[in-house]
Amino acid sequence: MTDVRPEEAHSGPAEAVGAASDAGAADPPEPVEASGAAVGVTFRVMDVEDVSLQLPAPHPSVTLVETAPPMRALVFPVGLAEGTAMAQALRRLDSRRPMTHELFMQVLQRARIEVVAVRLVGREEGNYLAELDLMTPGGRERVDCRPSDGIVLALRMPVPAPVLVDERLLQEPGDVPPAATE
């Protein structure tokens, strides 16, 4: 196993669900020990596989799939507006007039702030917890965010930023407290 740093990676209640297969994938990134993140926590690089609304569910769900074996998936619901924004960002579609995430991305870019990664770091009462890893003119910053907002911003970067998931979220049911940070 090789270590990949986040800057080098490409890339209601919900639980990790079965394994997906990806025949023919050539040496995808391995687990990540993210600098500036929780001490001793392994993050898995995930692809945003899909955003979908399966009726009669009231909310869309996002599906994240590991880029390296065992190819586990993490599926969780998001709000309708966030799901729409994520689906547009995933497909690299722009609105006729900038929506909130597009506007915020423009502000970040003009301020020379780059989204390095979005990390899903815990789960409380079925809600996932996330943080943005930002590179600012003054150095590296971490900002708490909703997973849906972080994923949309990561996808909106000129070169999409990786989505990293604490491996414990793929292994443990129920609440998973965020690990202590450095």
Please state the domain extents for the chain: 6-171
Helix 147-156 vs helix 100-110: crossing angle, to nearest 10: 60
pLDDT in tens, 82-124: 999 999 999 999 888 889 999 999 999 999 999 999 999 999 9
pLDDT in tens, 26-75: 444 455 555 555 568 899 999 999 999 998 999 999 999 999 999 999 99
Say if pTM beats, i.e. exceeds, 0.85.
no
Phi-psi bin for 100: left (phi > 0), alpha (psi -120 to 50), beta? alpha
Question: Residue 119, SS3?
Answer: strand
Correct CATH for 6-171 of 3.30.360.10, 3.10.690.10, 3.40.50.11030, 1.10.240.10 = 3.10.690.10
